[in-house]
Amino acid sequence: MDTYELLTRNTDEVVVEDEVRELAQDPDGKRVYVGYEPSGVLHLGHLLTANKLIDLQDAGMEVVVLLADVHAYLNDKGTFEEIRETAERMRAQFLAYGLDEERTEFVYGSDYQLEEDYTLDVHELELSTTLNRAQRAMAEIQSGETAKVSHVVYPLMQALDIEYLDLDLAIGGMDQRKVHMLMREELPAIGYEARPVLHTPIVADLTTGDGKMSSSEGITISMEDSTEELEEKVNSAFCPPTRDPEGDLENPVLELFEYHVFPRFEEVVVERPDEYGGDLTYESYETLATDLESGELHPADAKGALASSLDELIAPGRDVLSEMRA
Ligand code: NAL
């Protein structure tokens, strides 16, 4: 696979292509970041960006994971102490999931976001950014209905972090795109350089194929799920025999194969009794999706293989979590 393709596979948006192509010429030692508000347990949304980070490490890049404790605080996610504890647990889960410990740097926002230089730069961004712009950037991130002053400081800090962490590339889910667009415009306004960004897709809700999968609404899969819970959730998933259900719906079972399973496994074996044709082995998402559409692969069999692949992916993180609680 060529380097540009490895960097950009399974993304919904590349901002902008020329800059990422240039990065693909010489990715060795370049720094990419992703940031997360610490939250108790990793779910598939986090893991989707983590898969992208693993691709980038494979291309030779250094990964920086920002445990965005100050951001979580500004977004009303708990007391500062609670958030710090959660961040520590989150770090352990990322490593268990397969990020390369040697080439992953974990940074707390509070390590540098409370310094004088940083604070003065935040104030400069407050002066150059309209209130309206900052509020719009937060539409998909803000917790609660009422916008607080903290919610408009938040995206300015996220933009500034890209400068302070000395990054060559930023990664985030599609829900982060308006913050990144603000970064592209506002960093140059205060004399810093904008950076390229990759946006990963938001996987549809498992049972309906609609909207986004998140821990707050609908059913998601988390690192805490037991093998049995995972099987139950996957079995109840929406899985029409097509990759493009009508309207805005998605096929979440196929999405999970595409974004979570095939990037991490060389092949997927669907076990079937001999009287139903015997086992099927897939080496690519394409062939599996084609067989589901043609009827060669039954949704129930696809779900069985999906549940066991996901189980294998989250098992190390599940073990780390239970050790930390013991
Ligand atoms: C991600 C978040 C917060 C701050 C960041 C700073 C730099 C890079 C990434 C960052 C969290 C993200 C969320 N906004 O919604 O989880």
For the cut 70, the answer to whether the pLDDT of residue 216 exceeds it is no
Q: Name the percent of the chain lying above pLDDT 70.
A: 98
C-alpha R_g of the chain = 20
Which CATH code is given to the segment(s) 3-200?
Answer: 3.40.50.620
pLDDT digits (tens, 9 = 90+) for 24-54: 999 999 999 899 999 878 998 899 999 999 9
Q: How far is the CA of 102 from the centre of ligand 1 (A)?
A: 23
169: left (phi over 0), alpha (psi -120 to 50) or beta: beta
For the cut 60, the answer to whether the pLDDT of residue 131 exceeds it is yes
Which residues have CB under 8 Å from 279's CB, separation 6+? Answer: 269, 270, 271, 272
User: pLDDT tier at 211 (50, 70, 90 boundaries)?
Assistant: low
pLDDT digits (tens, 9 = 90+) for 294-318: 999 999 999 999 999 999 999 999 9
Q: Concatenated DSSP letters for 266-296?
A: S-EEE---GGGT--EEESSHHHHHHHHHHTS
Q: How far is the CA of 297 from the centre of ligand 1 (A)?
A: 39
Q: How far is the CA of 69 from the centre of ligand 1 (A)?
A: 9
Identify the pLDDT of residue 56: 95
User: pLDDT tier at 212 (50, 70, 90 boundaries)?
Assistant: low
In this prediction, residues 2-10 reach a mean pLDDT of 96
In this prediction, residues 80-107 reach a mean pLDDT of 91
Instruction: Decide whether any atom of ligand 1 lies within 6 Å of the 176 Cβ.
Output: yes
Instruction: Decide whether any atom of ligand 1 lies within 6 Å of the 37 Cβ.
Output: yes
Q: How far is the CA of 304 from the centre of ligand 1 (A)?
A: 34
CA gap 56, 220 in Å, rounded: 25
Asked if residues 98 and 59 have their Cβ atoms less than 8 Å apart, the reply is no
Identify the pLDDT of residue 103: 83
Mean pLDDT, the chain, rounded, equals 93
Identify the pLDDT of residue 206: 86
Helix, strand, coil % (nearest 5) of the chain? Answer: 50, 10, 35
Residue 182's Cβ-side half-sphere holds a number of Cα atoms within 13 Å equal to 28
User: pLDDT tier at 218 (50, 70, 90 boundaries)?
Assistant: low
CA gap 159, 166 in Å, rounded: 12
CA distances from 128 to 18, 125, 141, 189 (A): 27, 5, 22, 7
User: Is the ipTM value over 0.90, yes or no?
Assistant: yes
CA gap 95, 117 in Å, rounded: 32
Q: Is 33 annotated as a binding residue?
A: yes
Q: Name the percent of the chain lying above pLDDT 90.
A: 85
For ligand 1, atom 1: residue with the closest CA: 35
3-200 and 227-325 have identical folds? no
Identify the pLDDT of residue 95: 92
Give φ, ψ of 63 to 5 degrees: -105, 130
User: pLDDT tier at 215 (50, 70, 90 boundaries)?
Assistant: very low
267: left (phi over 0), alpha (psi -120 to 50) or beta: beta
For the cut 60, the answer to whether the pLDDT of residue 262 exceeds it is yes
For the cut 50, the answer to whether the pLDDT of residue 192 exceeds it is yes
Helix (H, G, I), strand (E, B) or coil at 13: strand
How do the domains of the chain map onto residue ranges? 3-200, 227-325
Instruction: Decide whether any atom of ligand 1 lies within 6 Å of the 164 Cβ.
Output: no
The atom number, within ligand 1, closest to the CA of 162 reads 7
CA gap 200, 176 in Å, rounded: 10
Asked if residues 307 and 231 have their Cβ atoms less than 8 Å apart, the reply is yes
Instruction: Decide whether any atom of ligand 1 lies within 6 Å of the 32 Cβ.
Output: no
Instruction: Decide whether any atom of ligand 1 lies within 6 Å of the 213 Cβ.
Output: no
For the cut 90, the answer to whether the pLDDT of residue 269 exceeds it is yes
Instruction: Decide whether any atom of ligand 1 lies within 6 Å of the 158 Cβ.
Output: yes
Instruction: Decide whether any atom of ligand 1 lies within 6 Å of the 66 Cβ.
Output: yes
Class of domain 227-325: mainly alpha
pLDDT digits (tens, 9 = 90+) for 222-243: 999 999 999 999 999 999 999 9
Least confident of 6-15, 149-158, 205-214: 205-214
Helix (H, G, I), strand (E, B) or coil at 50: helix
